[in-house]
Amino acid sequence: MRLHTPWLPILFFSLAACGESAEELPKTPQLVSDRDEMAFDREFNAGTFVGTSGFNSVMVTNMGEDTLEITDITLNAPSVFTMKVSNDYTAGTPLQLPSLKHVFIEVTFKPREAQVYQGTITIKSNAANLPEKVIALNGQGIAPP
């Protein structure tokens, strides 16, 4: 008797590929972000209407075994950008991220004029791979219709 289940091999190999990663974490803290730039409504060369707000966030994760200590998060940008870090962070106080934990940095962009705005967020830490991580900010204000 022949089985007519062509999906069975596909299912088997799909499940086999879902196993845990055997790669070990480095001992030292490792800062990894999910992006290097935050752009606000820039798809298709669009922008954010003047007087309205656009939101974006970046996730910062410790991919090392030792605790990542973020010592400073600085916003260097025009006042049309505002930054909010998780409730666990107080400016001037180090933020401790245990292994495989993450923190979100949220940025709001509210343009006052129809023009391009740029800035950066700088994250300083004890990470062995990136003691200083810079994330670019890019937004464009456009006149409402």
Give the model confidence (pLDDT) of 89-109 as tens digits: 788 889 999 999 999 999 999
Query: Is the pLDDT assigned to residue 68 strictly greater than 90?
Result: yes
Domain range for 36 is: 23-140
Residue 8 lies in a domain: no
* Span of 5-19, 59-73, 107-121 with lowest mean pLDDT: 5-19
Residue 112 lies in a domain: yes
pLDDT at 15: 54
pLDDT at 92: 83
Report the CATH number that the domain containing residue 79 is assigned in CATH: 2.60.40.10
| Percent of the chain with pLDDT strictly greater than 70 | 83
What is the model's pTM? Answer: 0.81
Residue 7 lies in a domain: no
pLDDT at 14: 58
Residue 98 lies in a domain: yes
pLDDT tens-place string over residues 50-67: 999 999 999 999 999 999
Number of Cβ atoms within 10 Å of the Cβ of 31: 23
Q: Please count the structural domains in the chain.
A: 1
